[in-house]
Structure 1
Amino acid sequence: MKALSTTLRFLSGASNHRPALFELRSSTWFITATVCTAVFTDIFLYAMIVPVFPFSLPQRVGVDEDDVQHWLSVLLSVYGAALLVMAPIFGWLSDRIELRRTPLLAGIVVLGGATVMLCLANNLPLLIVGRILQGASAGVVWVTGLALLADTVGKKYAGQAMGFVGIAYAAAALLAPLLGGIVYERAGYYAVFAMAFGMIALDIVLRLLLIEKKAAKKWLGEDDVQMEPQTLADDPEQAQADKQITAAFAPSEPSNSAAIDVPLTQTSSKIEKKLPPMLILLKSRRMQATFASCAIAALILTAFDTTLPLFVEETFHWSSLGAGLIFLAPLLPSFFQPLYGRAVDKYGARWPAGLGLLICVPPFVCLRLVTQNSLAQKVLLCALLAIIGFGVALTLAATMAEFTYIAAEKERRQPGSMGRGGAYAQSYSLFNVSWAFGSLVGAYWAGGVRLAAGFGAMGWSLALLCGVFCVPTLMFVGGSVFALKRRKDEGGVGSGVGVVRNAR
């Protein structure tokens, strides 16, 4: 027991000696991999039971077949509701504690408990509580984890860094329903949760091993540690290894965000100084448009989670395996998110976010054409879902990076307004609130419209939503077009994305 305690202290850095594998565990690529694994685990556990619930609710819980759609919507929406409530709290706390690793560890403990509850539940109240705890755990991952990643790579490479997070999300959202459907069909309910516990075990190990750049100062001299604006450089011994991940993030040409000659406001209004950083961010039209765009993307994905498994079961008579396989189509485009993020870092978030929503409009309208059980109709459905998936991935890549851009630029224009530790976590708590709001609305929206008017009507409603909201997205994401026009009329210095990105 004493040897185990000593080993744990050495690994965690509780002793005065450098932790084991210090250079590896504090490197940029390891931190990135750990955050991506945390995201993968969260989404995997959320999505693996999407194709299982339509079949397990009647069998294990005794839900009537006619009520399955309703309770499926409830179980998906309570996850979003918990995320909606907890994300601002975690954002506020995360920007005020010394290290972000602590809430990450607490989050995985909560996630483990939630998974045990879902595994053993044979009644609706226990299932609902388990999903609420899952949502609370997700708040930790998506707020603290993304803020940690922003600390590590800085504003300059935020787009591509979030692109890697997008790959983790897409991989989990793709594999979880697929594996959940296959394992449930072949090995049963408990085998599905065996996969979940394996993912949790791996995630725990990585979170325990992680050493933040801020924590690295304990074993490095101050000259060896730099921040940009909250980013620490690695130990010189690890510099060569970190160049690989930096090269992956770096655009082929200098980012336009670095070439800004707009005068900076050094002081904020007395009223704004009294506001919490989260509200300072949210009162910006740029943040409001980004918030709305992200919420629409989340609403679309949750709408598919709620309706697709039941739709393909009823229309094509597919089993849980088919219900999992159908998610291949909308999620495959997400594996190219680092490329989208690279474009966002170079050109700004406005056009990718707006065009992403606009691209979704025609295929949503055409969903009403899928009505029969034929090969042609199945191919048509997959093609439409793939186009929608591309549009959503483009919007998400832009908006996720934009949350970093906004927080960093606000601090740059008004130093100190975001608090001592900056506001990356609080900015990403707004990302989570927007995601949770979209998920909460999407579950009821899609399920309710489908029950009342059919799958085609649901597509029409989502097409209208995307078409309407692409307008404010193009006007304000990346900065107000009116501010850009005013600067040009006044003969202001700078043009293009540099000015737009910094316009409020």
Structure 2
Amino acid sequence: MDINFACIIRRCIVNRLSDRIQSRKYPLLVGYIAIAISTFFFLFGRSPAIIVIARVFQGLSGAIVGVLSFAIVADTASPEKRGQYMAFLSASFTWGMIMGPVLGGLLFDNFGIYGAFVVPISLLVCDIILRSLMIEKRNHDSEVCGQDQAEEAPLLSTQGSTGNELHLRNFVDTRFIAAIVTETTISSILSAFESTLPLFTMETYDWSSTNSGLLFLGISLPSLLSIPMAKYCRSWDRRRTVAIELILAFFPLSALRLVEMPSSSHQVSFVAFVTCVGLFMTTSQAQVMAEVSDAVRQIEAKEGIDSRKKSGMGTGYAFCNVAIALGQFLGPIVAGYARLGLGWGGMTLILGGISGFVGLVSLFVNV
């Protein structure tokens, strides 16, 4: 994902508009329409100018959908189920990024360029129809609460004026910043792996591109465990759990420096270590998504904001989206320079050190 000022500006505009408009539904529909326009240009574009326009619409749609999808889940889910719903959403993003290139390549090989676009176009049509029929629970809750206004008015008045809204300065909050830094760290490590693992396996183990690609299943499959973890481990302290996972990730990340021989035992150990890294990274990422919403709700309560009227969730997940983009930008750069200067062992040790350090700091901050 590109990380530049235009990317950040798009997300800031989207989050401010989505928080001011009392509906997530219609901005999200605009995002899906932008995806449809982008897909149309990619399918029929035959010049560089058309491809650039398609990329612009793709970036716009990514900013809208990436921010609002998490905000809608946060608005809809109850606090006890928020972690589980975020785990579903995080896993769906992970598997979408995996299955997209695989399915697209298979369709292109068998049916050509037009056949490759059949699935995305079909999914877009279904998405637009379903989003048109979507009923926003947040608005419905407001109507229900309006019936009991006499009972709730004293409670709301003790927290402050509900006509206020959150400003960017309100997000300078220890809990929120810790979640954003953690998300950037996780995204950086996963992106670093995406850029270095295929080259390492081809050079060291003489693996084919297919085998190297299948290795990413070891990173992605553990993401499915985040769903039962979020469901059955609600009593755990989410922030402390994520911090411990980052600390534990130091060990398999550092151990990857010990498998640089092309022997069978080293290859088996390599796959096991990569799977452990995937387990700690993907399951903690799902919990961080839920932690962002909890942090925003805490900020709203502290500032006396009625989340049914002036929610700051869009802004919160815009920051989260930028953190992911920043990680995807920094991860390959750090990993690339580290491997060129220090070799594979030095690179994995640095990644492990970053994970362990952020985990330790987060653990003490969240005590």
TM class by smaller structure: 0.7 to 0.9
Higher helix share: 2
Among 145, 155, 167, the residue aligned to 1:277:
167
Distance apart, 1:83 and its partner CA? 4.6
Number of residue pairs the alignment of both structures matches: 359
Write out per-residue CA displacement over residues 156-211 of structure 1, whole angstroms, 9 at most, x where no aligned residue. Answer: 32111112112312322443354456556777777555443343333233223322
Among 95, 98, 113, the residue aligned to 2:22:
98
The SS at the match of 2:80 is coil
Distance 2:179 2:308 in 1: 22
Distance apart, 1:95 and its partner CA? 0.9
CA contact (8 A) 1:177 1:327 kept: no
Among 178, 197, 200, the residue aligned to 1:289:
178
The SS at the match of 1:346 is coil
Matched, 1:335 2:224: yes
Letter aligned with residue 328 of structure 2? S
Distance apart, 1:469 and its partner CA? 0.8
Distance apart, 1:419 and its partner CA? 9.4
CA contact (8 A) 1:112 1:197 kept: yes
Distance apart, 1:287 and its partner CA? 1.2
Distance apart, 1:299 and its partner CA? 0.9
Query: Which residue in 1 is equivalent to 2:289?
Result: 400
What stretches of structure 2 of length at least 5 have no aligned partner? 150-157
Closer, same or farther: CA 114–476 of 1 in aligned 2, 3 Å: farther
Distance 2:20 2:104 in 1: 38
Matched, 1:302 2:191: yes
Look at both structures and tell me which one has the larger radius of gyration over its CA atoms.
1
- Counterparts of 1:144-163 in structure 2, within 5 Å, are 144-163=68-87
Distance 1:433 1:126 in 2: 26
Letter aligned with residue 202 of structure 1? C
Letter aligned with residue 151 of structure 1? D
CA contact (8 A) 1:177 1:324 kept: no
CA contact (8 A) 2:15 2:314 kept: yes
Query: Which residue in 1 is equivalent to 2:330?
Result: 441
Distance 2:197 2:109 in 1: 18
Letter aligned with residue 108 of structure 1? Y
CA contact (8 A) 1:86 1:139 kept: yes
Letter aligned with residue 305 of structure 2? G
Distance 1:126 1:324 in 2: 31
- Counterparts of 1:9-408 in structure 2, within 5 Å, are 76=1, 78=2, 83-116=7-40, 133-180=57-104, 192-214=116-138, 222=144, 266=159, 276-281=166-171, 283-342=172-231, 345-408=234-297
CA contact (8 A) 2:176 2:296 kept: no
Distance apart, 1:119 and its partner CA? 5.7
TM-score by length of 2: 0.82
CA contact (8 A) 2:187 2:331 kept: yes
Identity of aligned residues (%): 28
CA contact (8 A) 1:107 1:138 kept: yes
Closer, same or farther: CA 287–124 of 1 in aligned 2, 3 Å: farther
Distance apart, 1:370 and its partner CA? 3.5
Query: Which residue in 2 is equivalent to 1:10?
Result: none
Query: Which residue in 2 is equivalent to 1:423?
Result: 312
What stretches of structure 1 of length at least 5 have no aligned partner? 1-75, 228-264, 482-504
Query: Which residue in 1 is equivalent to 2:154?
Result: none
Write out per-residue CA displacement over residues 431-455 of structure 1, whole angstroms, 9 at most, x where no aligned residue. Answer: 1122121112113222333344443
Closer, same or farther: CA 419–195 of 1 in aligned 2, 3 Å: closer
The SS at the match of 1:356 is helix
Write out per-residue CA displacement over residues 107-151 of structure 1, whole angstroms, 9 at most, x where no aligned residue. Answer: 122223444555677898877775564343222122211111122
Query: Which residue in 1 is equivalent to 2:302?
Result: 413
CA contact (8 A) 1:181 1:322 kept: no
CA contact (8 A) 1:182 1:320 kept: no
Distance apart, 1:155 and its partner CA? 2.8
CA contact (8 A) 2:165 2:311 kept: no
Distance 1:409 1:81 in 2: 29
Closer, same or farther: CA 383–410 of 1 in aligned 2, 3 Å: same
The SS at the match of 2:21 is coil
Where relative contact order (Cα < 8 A, 6+ residues apart) is larger, the structure is 2
- When structure 1 is superposed on structure 2, of 84-93 and 283-292 the one drifting more is 84-93
Distance 2:64 2:228 in 1: 27
Distance 2:327 2:203 in 1: 26
Closer, same or farther: CA 135–368 of 1 in aligned 2, 3 Å: farther
Letter aligned with residue 83 of structure 2? G
Distance 1:119 1:300 in 2: 33
Distance apart, 1:471 and its partner CA? 1.8
Letter aligned with residue 109 of structure 1? I
